[in-house]
Amino acid sequence: MFIQLHGNMAVAAIKKRHALEYRKALQEVPRHRTGSLLGATLPEQAAWGREHPEAPRITAATINKQLGGVQAICVWASDNGLIPDDVQWADPFSRLRLPTERSERTSFEVAELQSLFNAPLFTEHRFPLGAHGAAGFWLPVLALYAGARQAELGHLTADNVKVDAKTGVALLYFVTEKARGKRTKTDASERVVPVHQEVIHLGFLDYVEARRSADGVDAWLFPSLAPDNGSAGVPAWSKWFGRYLRDEGGVTDKAKVFHSFRHTVKDALRRGGADHEIREDLIGHAQASTVSGGYGANAMLSRWGAAALSDAINRITYPGLDLSRVKPLGVPPRTRDTTKATKRHRAHNAGTPAKASRTHD
């Protein structure tokens, strides 16, 4: 769309005015496009929008996504030396994002969490193909007790899980590794989060050690979600989880998505009385004290100490949630079950006997 508006420009030639004109054109694009508009270029869509001022426009979130797409290419070009040294260039898309409406995504209710973690994937290790094996189990469990984003969790390596030498606290390091395609969403997203005791109880550290033993310290914890898998990795997993959450997990509220785990953890940290600044650091939110104290996992660890961070993370509890039926997963599954388990799960929740079916561990 940027090329449709400005032509196929060299990145070094893109200036702030080009980015502003691109944003302005996007703001004219109609939300609902039919007929000839489906194949129309950005200038054509923007022109139609100006001629029909009453038509709803695409959302600010969609505009920001399109701005971010071109921005990512420009920043990559700059990072990889594709802009001549004698050219003065700054990111033209910096600070151009529009304010967005407050997200409708909300926290999970305990009953919804109970329904999800009663699903066969967690209680019987029945792994649908889209679950990408252990990722289907561990990403929701980790998110429930760490509040991390899908990509942050999906791109973890064995080396990102360390034990603090002084305290013995197991820590998750969410860090940027450009050489391996790992990036955090913001500077504040680079952080360290202790592993919750419930996650340890369910076998996470054993799972990490199994991956380390199999493929070395640099091993991806969830190989099929590694960055080099592109859209077949985390994006595909995300679509699968959305369906599983509804069909097998029984969560029908469309405002509840994977990102709801972040809201759920924020609520749990607040409910547990964790220090405000610590909980903001654990979630990865920028704040004044973080800026003055420096960003990054090591700066955060130096600022608070592993013991204080562990105390805060273990304040996460969910009164009324029973995970006793969740089957620990300390070893990566060798096979994945592609059978449907909806009827068994629903029958169990209803308290009626279900017909036995074959399963693979």
**340 CB-contact burial (10 Å; exposed 0-12 / middle 13-18 / buried 19+):** middle
The share of the chain scoring above pLDDT 90, in percent, equals 71
93 contact partners, CB below 8 Å, separation of at least 6:
19, 67, 68, 70, 71, 74
Q: How confident is the model at residue 187 (pLDDT cuts 50, 70, 90)?
A: low
Cα-trace Rg, the chain: 23
Please count the CA atoms within 13 angstroms of the CA of 159 that sit on its side-chain side. Answer: 9
CATH of the structural domain 110-350, one choice from 1.10.287, 1.10.1060, 1.10.443, 1.10.10: 1.10.443
* b/e burial code for range 199-223 (CB count within 10 A of at least 16 → b): beebbbbebbebbbeeeeeebbbbb
pLDDT mean over 195-210:
98
Poorest-pLDDT segment among 5-19, 44-58, 175-189, 274-288: 175-189
Query: 27 phi and psi, to 5 degrees?
Result: -70, -15
Rounded Cα–Cα distance for residues 330 and 134 (Å): 10
Tokens of 195: 């592993």
95 contact partners, CB below 8 Å, separation of at least 6:
none
pLDDT of amino acid 357 = 34
323 contact partners, CB below 8 Å, separation of at least 6:
117, 198, 202
What are the sequence ranges of the domains in the chain? 2-79, 110-350
Rounded Cα–Cα distance for residues 193 and 189 (Å): 11
The maximal CA–CA distance of the chain, rounded, in angstroms, is 74
Whole-prediction pTM: 0.66
What are the residues facing 171 on neighbouring strands?
162, 194
Q: How confident is the model at residue 157 (pLDDT cuts 50, 70, 90)?
A: very high
The pLDDT of residue 290 is above 60: no
The Cα angle at residue 30 between residues 29 and 36, in degrees rounded to 5: 95
Rounded Cα–Cα distance for residues 31 and 8 (Å): 26
